[in-house]
Structures are given as structure tokens and as C-alpha cells.
Amino acid sequence: MEVVYIAEGTLVIQCFEKDRNISDVHICIRDDRKMVPIVDIKTGVDGKTEKIQLQTPEKEKSFQQGQCPYGIFHIECSKTGYACACFKNVQIFPGVNSYLRVDMKKDDKGSKDEIIFPHHHLFVEDNNA
């Protein structure tokens, strides 16, 4: 299934330790096609990123058979003294403002906490169906 990215959705990421905002968290966003960083920023004093614009498939094309209606991204949030928070298959829809809350854990060992979002079953071929 080929995905063409020509529309945009937005994402704001906010990082916390418990309920305390964490500033200067390094955020790296990759799309699932190239795996090279397309966004490389840090959170501000409020623990939030600025609004990030990400390319998504055109909304009208999502109604065609075999077209995925969202962009798929992988996000890493890292800061010294914390476990790296990794999110795979984050879905961003065209014309939609999305928010990702990241709860970071203290860790000096360089470990990773990974969350993998499953692809939506309406848009993934299932040979067992």
C-alpha cells in the first residue's frame, strides 16, 4: 500500500515527570518510510513543543480503497537522567491537531521505554480474515 504525503496534520508533544513539566527534552520524529529525522527540536520551559506540522495523506484520497488515511511517525523523547520514551506508529490525520503526553521516568542507565501503537485494522490487510 503506497502512501502519498501531501496534506498536513499537527502535533504538540508535552513531557512530564509525574505532573511536573520537563523542559529541554530532545524530540526526534521520523516518518515510517525514510527513518531519517524529519523533526529535531526540544521542549520549552512549559514542557511542550511548538505546534509541529507533519505531512499526511490527502483527506480525499483516504476514501479510496487501499489508501491509509493518516501519516505514520516514530517519536523519541530523550533527556539525560531519564529513560528514552519511544513511540512507534503514531497516527497523524490530515487537518487534525494532535497532542501526545509523554510521562518520562527517571533513569541513569540509558534504558528505553517503548510504546508501539498498532496499525488500524480497517487499513491493514489481514490474511486471516
Task: Count other Cβ atoms within 10 Å, centred on residue 20.
Answer: 8
Query: In what side-by-side order are the strands of the sheet with 26-31?
Result: 37-42, 26-31, 71-78, 84-92, 112-116
Task: Count other Cβ atoms within 10 Å, centred on residue 69.
Answer: 19
Q: Name the stretches of the chain with pLDDT < 50.
A: 126-129
* CA 92 – CA 57 distance, rounded (Å): 9
DSSP state of 82: B
What pLDDT is attached to residue 5? 55
What pLDDT is attached to residue 68? 80
What pLDDT is attached to residue 35? 76
What pLDDT is attached to residue 127? 45
